[in-house]
Amino acid sequence: VYHTPESTPENQVPDCAVVIDVLRATTTIATALDGGAKSVKAFSDIDLLLADSEGLSPTERLRLGERGGKKVESCDMGNSPLDCTPEMVKDKQLFISTTNGTRALQRVQNADVVITGAMINYGVVVDFLAEKQPNNVWLVGSGWEGGYSLEDTVCAGAIASSLIKNDNIEMIGNDEVVSAIALYQQWQHDLVKLFTLASHGQRLLRLDLTDDLKYCAQENIIQTLPIQQGKGSLLFKAL
């Protein structure tokens, strides 16, 4: 487990990276693909996002942009998973840029396999890892601007604690795995409360996004696993 993209070992990538940004990028990506979006492509830079999506008509694409929790003016939508209804996203190609989540995706984009996890779909992440048994797996929290986040760590803990229950898996992890599991064990029955204690949870509450926070705190309500299409592409489709 790594709490931030910056804390991952330099010049290395794992066999499999699981990028986690529970509030809200990886919740949004999973929700959009579950709602029938064709694909979601991530960008750290809004201008590159706008340029890359330029060739598609507005009926074929949706541009999602968020900074500091707020919608970016030049985009169609912010980063709310609740806006990604099937009516909005079905058959569309999505282009997304967010404060921290897309940076975390960029950091590990050259791993053999990159998938995304959130509380709403971590069960399918566990199933995927149990089936594929990659030699080394990084669970990478997006954090907030280089700092630790409770919501990403508790999700890493949920994934790790499910994995260690699986007899086929021998898990040797860093100290962060042990503390992530402890965090999940402590808070698994009160995730909404934990998220309201989290600094980014508080930011979302200040922006009147309580429903987003509650949605992101639900466990395994969807079975969709976003997976990167080719090393370095930052293009995600449902497995």
Cα–Cα distance measured from residue 94 to residue 171, given in angstroms and rounded to the nearest whole number: 35
At closest approach, how far in Å is the CB of 208 from ligand MLT?
Answer: 13
- Is residue 92 near ligand MLT by the rule CB under 6 A? no
Stretch that binds ligand MLT, among 17-25, 84-92, 150-158, 186-194 (CB under 6 A): 17-25
CB distance 33 to 238 below 8 Å: yes
Which of 2, 18, 41, 66 forms a contact with ligand MLT (CB under 6 A)?
Answer: 66
Burial readout 21-58 (b: 16 or more C-beta within 10 A, e: otherwise): bbbbbbbbbbbbbbbbbbbbbbbbebeebbeebeeeee
Site residues (CB under 6 A) for ligand MLT, limited to 171-210 = none
Closer residue to ligand MLT (CB): 183 or 216: 216
Question: Which runs of E-coded beta strand occur in the chain?
Answer: 16-20, 39-42, 61-67, 70-71, 93-97, 113-117, 137-141, 226-228, 235-238
- Is residue 65 near ligand MLT by the rule CB under 6 A? no
Which of 31, 79, 109, 149 forms a contact with ligand MLT (CB under 6 A)?
Answer: 79
- Is residue 99 near ligand MLT by the rule CB under 6 A? yes
Give the residues lining the site for ligand MLT (CB under 6 A): 21, 23-25, 66, 69, 79, 98-101, 142
